[in-house]
Amino acid sequence: MNPVPKAIRVLIAEDDSNDAELLVRALREGGYEPDWRRVDTEAGFVAALEELYDLVISDYVMPGFGGLRALAILKEREIKIPFILVSGVAGEDLAVTAMKLGAADYLLKDRLTLLGSAVGHALLEAQAQRERLAIVGHALLEALMEEQLRRERLAADAALRESEARFRQVVESMREVFWMTDAGKTRMLYISPGFEAIWGRTCESITASLAEWADSIHPEDRTRVLEAARTKQVLGTYEEEYRIVRPDGTIRWVRDRASPVRNAGGEISRVVGVAEDITQRKELEQQFRQAQKMESIGTLAGGIAHDFNNILTAIGGYTELARGALDDRPEVQELLEAVLAAAGRATGLVRQILAFSRQQPIERRLIQLGPIVAESFALLRASIPSTIEFEKWLAGDAPTVFADPGQVHQCLMNLGTNAWHAMKDGSGLIRITLEKCEIDAAQAAASPQLRPGSYVRVSVRDSGKGMDKATLQRIFDPFFTTKPPGEGTGLGLAVVHGIMVSHEGAVTVESQPDEGTTFHLYFPAHSAEATAEPAQTGEFPRGHGERILVVDDEETLVTLAMKTLVNLGYQAEGVTQPASALAMVRADPGRFALVITDMTMPVMTGMQLATILLHSWPGLPVILTTGYSATISPELVKAAGIRSLVLKPANLRSIAIAVNAALSAPAR
């Protein structure tokens, strides 16, 4: 196959000239030298097709025009040019529709770094398809011509044998499977050696009996495929994707196409077809669907987190105030502790949902994983029955990693608990190891999240019942669980997956039924020294009568915050409208020592309010609180001059520390 040229002619359908320039830049960064033309209307696109192009790139949505319409125009005019659809909005249905209409690839605009490789793949696939069609078409034409000559001239046997030899040389060098049956599809007349590589069966077996092919089809696909073969192959409309089961039990995906061959009298004399292995493409599609599923659940998580955390703030905050007011009532204290424990479990559930969707703020720093693994090991040993044996092996030379200690601990506890559940009905062994490892290009290709380089790998292995392939394909799905009702939420492994992705690492799994399971956590290695964990003070910092303004659109939370601050030794005032807060500060700028504002409020957000306050009164410290927001982070808050970001639900200690730190910090 000839190499794909780097100088290419590109037609870009894009209404935004800046986005078109970004596409051209991405092509150049991918190693191409594009000669390009931009159009933004259907008429312009049709007119541009009078010229020859190597590639079409189209935006999904443009005024009065779009990528799917552009695809339809190419199909109507039978113009076979590689087509790549780009979109600013993710959508599994859009991707599937585009691919069915003939698009070579589908990319999101925030992932244009992949454009170069997508173009290379599309151009190579188009070139390969042209070459394959030319070879197969030429070979089939010669075979048919030789067949006709054989009927007309019996004396041409030698020429026919030579033609057949050439035909075999062509098809037997193909990775695809070329096959031919009689008109009644009772006998396999010929099948190329590619069959043995894909099906794992001998050519002789299927030549002896076509039932060998039918038996190889996955039971769930068999009825559909056999019916399609019966009705569509003779019509030339047969094109099926289905699974086959190899003799060793492995499953491969196949795309199979067939058409009839007619003799001089117009009767069907043969049925010929080409089958190819599309397993890799199907796996990539599955990974894409998984990513879309995770993003969808993440969006749902973000939507409920803010309101749910506000509710938990009220429950936890008022309960803490009640507990403080009833020191002399131990029987009531016990009840209030139960309320706080339940609120804590609910808080943990929200954070788990946000963790697996990678929307939970994390505090990463350079750490040694050894102490965290050892601590998790000790906690698991104390909480799991003694019938389960524990082993650990921690390499002393493992480098540091950039990670959130709490989230690493959460991953290990989730994996350890799952390992125990896999052996819950008897004895077994859990082994935890930590070591440095190098990932090469071949290993990285097997896991999309990994890149070649140095990693610290933590492995959790159990000797439990293991998992079959169907279960392995779903273990990271949110809310999927094999545990009985009441014993699991189905979030544990989804949380682990989300945490590892947020750490630029990966989680992989190895398992076989009755042979146990091993999970591997891969953290990118660093060479710098570990940083010390911030120290925690034992006493609550208290105020000295400083006046604090609280701003939150929920009156219940304003009242709670005021009571909490008064309980900590401060004076407090509260409003539910950001405009009212601005008016109060403007009327007496020296009245308040601190402003605490919620992030999500109607008309004006907390970030907008803080920006106005800090611009007008630079010496007035501001604290921002939120139940959840995908648009802010500790780094963004710090850059804006805000003293700190407090996540709801916040307990009495965290509020006391945040307020004291804001008041004690030097003026900016």
| Per-residue pLDDT reduced to its tens digit, 592-618 | 999 999 988 888 999 999 999 999 998
pLDDT band at 485 (very low <50, low <70, confident <90, very high): very low
Question: Which class is 287-341+539-668 in CATH?
Answer: alpha beta
47-77 as b/e: b if 16+ CB within 10 A: ebbeeebbbbbbbbebeebbbbebbebbeee
Q: Which token pair is 73?
A: 């125009």
32 versus 297: which is more confidently predicted? 32
Residue 254: pLDDT band (50, 70, 90) is very high
The dotted CATH code for 365-526 is 3.30.565.10
* pLDDT at residue 256, as a whole number: 94
Asked if the domains 172-277 and 287-341+539-668 are classified in one and the same CATH topology, the answer is no
pLDDT band at 356 (very low <50, low <70, confident <90, very high): very low
Q: Which helix (H) or strand (E) holds 667?
A: none
Write down the architecture of domain 172-277 according to CATH: 2-Layer Sandwich (3.30)
pLDDT of 290 reads: 63
Say which DSSP state 74 is in: H
Helix (H) or strand (E) holding 415: helix 405-422
Least confident of 6-20, 267-281, 618-632, 652-666: 618-632
**Alpha carbon distance 320, 161 (integer Å):** 93
pLDDT band at 532 (very low <50, low <70, confident <90, very high): low
pLDDT surpassing 50 at residue 527: yes
Q: Does pLDDT of 227 surpass 90?
A: yes
Q: Does residue 510 contact residue 438 with C-beta atoms inside 8 Å?
A: no
What average pLDDT does range 320-339 have in this prediction?
77
Average pLDDT of 565-590?
Answer: 92
**Residue 301 pLDDT:** 63
**pLDDT tops 80 at residue 176:** yes
pTM: 0.41
What is the pLDDT at residue 1? 47
Percent share of the chain, pLDDT over 70: 83
**Domain 7-126 falls under CATH 3.40.50.2300:** yes
In terms of Cα–Cα distance, which of 152, 322, 318 is closest to 160?
A: 152
Which one of 132-136, 165-169, 479-483, 504-508 scores highest in mean pLDDT? 504-508
Highest mean pLDDT among 136-145, 169-178, 240-249, 392-401: 240-249
Q: pLDDT by residue (tens digit) across 115-165?
A: 888 888 888 887 877 777 667 656 665 666 677 777 766 645 655 566 666
pLDDT of residue 528: 75
Q: Residue range 41-52: average pLDDT?
A: 88
What are the domain boundaries of the chain?
Answer: 7-126, 172-277, 287-341+539-668, 365-526
Please write the tens of the pLDDT for every residue from 184-221: 888 999 888 889 989 999 999 999 998 899 999 999 99
Query: Do residues 309 and 600 lie in contact, with contact meaning Cβ atoms separated by under 8 Å?
Result: no
